[in-house]
Structure 1
Amino acid sequence: MSNPIADPGHGHSPAAWTAVIIMLVGIAIGTFFFFLDMPIVVWIAAAIVVIGALVGWGMSKAGYGANGSKYIAKEH
């Protein structure tokens, strides 16, 4: 058989978890205030989602991504 394929990480990194948590909070806020018909807060929540993506990207570039220098992979 051939060599096993190396685990690509699947996003298990501080950068990915931080980005996902921030974006989930933004989506939850946006959904709740969409239901209450408060469009300005929905747009603020949309901005929070974008900020979450930028934070994840920035953390990845700072070395906290799946292949980053500051990330220590844990065994499963």
Structure 2
Amino acid sequence: MAGHNHGHTPAAWTGVTIAFIGFCVAGAFTVAAKPVGFFAGIAVIALGGIVGAAMRAAGLGMPKTQPPQPKTAAQAQPQAQTQQ
């Protein structure tokens, strides 16, 4: 997974940051025993997912991967020379 740059995009960072803020709000209001604030925090968590998905749709997420193309003989030959 580390070689695929998984999640290192503006869409992912923004969505996770908004969701984290919502988690903190919900947690604070849970401790304060205020159900309205708790559900507001849950709404912010959902908003983070929506914002992340919208940003991904706008092109700020990971590009869709295309299946690997088979290498031609001309492409494979330089690799064989560098491995010697």
Higher share in helix: 2
Question: RMSD of the alignment, in Å?
Answer: 1.6
Q: Give aligned pairs, total.
A: 63
Per-residue deviation, residues 31-68 of structure 1 (Å, max 9, x unmatched): 01100000000001100000000000000000000217
Describe the SS at the equivalent of 2:8: coil
Greater gyration radius: 2
Percent identical across equivalent pairs?
34
Please state if 1:47 is matched with 2:43: yes
Q: How does 1:2-13 map to 2 (within 5 A)?
A: 7-13=3-9
Name the SS for the 1:67 alignment partner: coil
Q: Which runs of 5+ in 2 are unaligned?
A: 65-84
Structure 1 residues not aligned, in runs of 5+? 1-6, 69-76
